Structure 1
Amino acid sequence: MPATFPSLPGAAWPVTKRPVTATRVEAHASGREVRSPLYPAALYEFTLPVEGLTPDGSFPGLGTASLQALLGLYVQCRGTWGTFLFTDPTDGAVANQALAAGDGATTVFPFVRTLGELTETVGWVTAVSRVTVAGVAQAGGWSLTVPNLLTFVTAPAAGAVIAADFTYAFLCRFMDDGVDFEHLMRGLWQVKSLRFRSTTP
C-alpha cells in the first residue's frame, strides 16, 4: 500500500490541477495529418503552496507535526522515485456511479467516475460503502481488488447495471528531486510550490 499524502491545514491557494495528455502528429505531403493519442487516459499535475508547517505545534491551527509529515513523505519517496496516494478534496468521492452492465459471465469490473460526457477509470479506490446490481444493494458476494477493481463471486446477470458509492485517490509522484522547505520564524515553515503528478497504478 503506498504512503498517503498528509492532511495539511496550512495548504494555501491557488491550487492548480492540470490535465496532461500526449499526441503524436504525423504530417503528410497532402497537408493531412494523422494523430495518435499516446496516453490511454489523461494524467493530472497538481501544484499547491503550503504557507504554514509546524514541527512542534507552535501554531495550533497547523497541526502538531505537519512539517515532519510532509518532509517525511518527500524523503520516503526519494523525490521523484516513489509513489503516494493523494485525495483531491474536490474529486475524491462518487455516489451511485454506474460502472458497467453485466453480461452473465464477467466477474471483474473497473471502478470509474464520470466527468461530463467522459467516463474514466479511477486510480486507487480507498473505500467502498455500497454496491448495487440492478438497483438492489448487495450485502456481500463482492470485494475490492486493489487498486481499482470490483470483483464478484458470481457474475451479475446480463443487462444488470452495476453501480457503487466509493471514495478514491490519485496515485502520484513528486515532479521534483528537490523541494525548498523555508524556515520563516521559530516554529513556522513553508513550501512555496509543491508539484506532483498522477501516474498509472
Structure 2
Amino acid sequence: MSDLKFPDLPGITWQVSWQPSFNTKIQTAVSGKEYRASLMANPIYKLTLNYEFLRHGAKNELRQLVGLFLQTRGAFDNFLYKFPDDSAVTDQLIGVGDGKTKIFQLSRSFGSAFSEPVQNVDVVTNIKVAGVVKTGGYTVSESGLVTFAAAPTGDVSWSGSYFYRVRFEQDSQEVEQFMKDLWSAKKVQLIGSLGRRI
C-alpha cells in the first residue's frame, strides 16, 4: 500500500464515470422467493477518466500518468486519488459524545441515510464538539480515527478533505499520440482498493 498520489492533469474531459457497487449474494428458491445477503457494508467505487490531451515535453503530463502506472505495476499497487466532486466535507457529524467514548471514526454522508468511514485523510480543517471548534486535546490517525484525551459530550463533527484509495483496474493502459508532443488516454480506469498487495 503506497501513499503515491494520482497527478492533477489538465486534459480531463467532462465524461467522468463514477460507479459505486456492492456485492450481494442472491439465492432464488423454486417458489421464486429470494434470499439476499449483502457481503459489503460499503461500496467499492469505480472511476473512468478520459484525458483529451496529455502533453509530452516541458509539461510532462504523459510521463506523470504513465510513470504512476509503471511505478504501481498496473493493478498491483494502490495509490491516492482526489475526486474533485467528492473530496471534502464541512461540519460532517461523526457521532454524539456520551462522556465515555473517546474514539470516533471520520465519515462522510450521502443523502440523509447513508454514511461511510473516511480512511484516507488529506487535511482536517477542524473538529467541533457541541458546535465549538476544538483547538487541541485530540489526535487524528491516518485511517481517520479521532481520539480525544477526555471523552466529549455533545455532537462531534469534522471539516476537511480526503482521498479515495484506488488502483488501476487493468494491468495495461493505452495512450495514443494524435499530434507532435500531444497524446490522449481515452479510458483510465480506477477501482477502489482496500486490500494489501502480496
TM-score normalised by length of structure 1: 0.91
Q: State the partner residue of 1:34.
A: 35
1:186 partnered with 2:174: no
1:81-128 Cα deviation digits (max 9, x unpaired): 111111111111111111101122222211111111211112411100
Q: Secondary structure at the match of 1:89?
A: coil
Match of 1:156 among 145, 152, 159: 152
Q: Is the 8 A contact 2:119 2:142 kept in 1?
A: no
Q: State the partner residue of 1:14.
A: 15
Match of 2:126 among 123, 130, 135: 130
Distance 1:12 1:101 in 2: 41
Amino acid at match of 2:54: L
Q: State the partner residue of 1:195.
A: 189
Distance 1:76 1:109 in 2: 35
Q: Secondary structure at the match of 2:98?
A: coil
Q: State the partner residue of 1:139.
A: 135
Q: Secondary structure at the match of 1:73?
A: helix
Report sequence identity in percent.
33
| Aligned length in residues | 193
CA RMSD of aligned residues (A): 1.4
Give the 4+ runs in structure 1 shifted more than 3 A: none
Q: State the partner residue of 1:91.
A: 86
Q: Mind listing any 5+ residue stretches in structure 1 that lack a counterpart?
A: 58-63
Amino acid at match of 2:27: E
Q: State the partner residue of 1:48.
A: 49
Amino acid at match of 2:152: P
Q: Is the 8 A contact 1:123 1:200 kept in 2?
A: no
Match of 2:103 among 108, 111, 126: 108
1:151-201 Cα deviation digits (max 9, x unpaired): 2122213xx110111101100011010011212222111111000111237
Distance 1:193 1:14 in 2: 10
Distance 2:149 2:71 in 1: 37
TM-score normalised by length of structure 2: 0.92
Distance 1:121 1:66 in 2: 32
Q: State the partner residue of 1:25.
A: 26
Q: State the partner residue of 2:160.
A: 166
Amino acid at match of 2:44: L
Amino acid at match of 1:25: I
How far the C-alpha of 1:30 sits from its partner, in A, is: 3.9
Q: Is the 8 A contact 2:20 2:45 kept in 1?
A: yes
1:28-67 Cα deviation digits (max 9, x unpaired): 344322111111201110001111111223xxxxxx1211
Q: Secondary structure at the match of 2:177?
A: strand
After superposing the two structures, state which structure 1 stretch, 115-124 or 165-174, moved more: 115-124
Distance 2:53 2:33 in 1: 53
Distance 1:36 1:97 in 2: 30
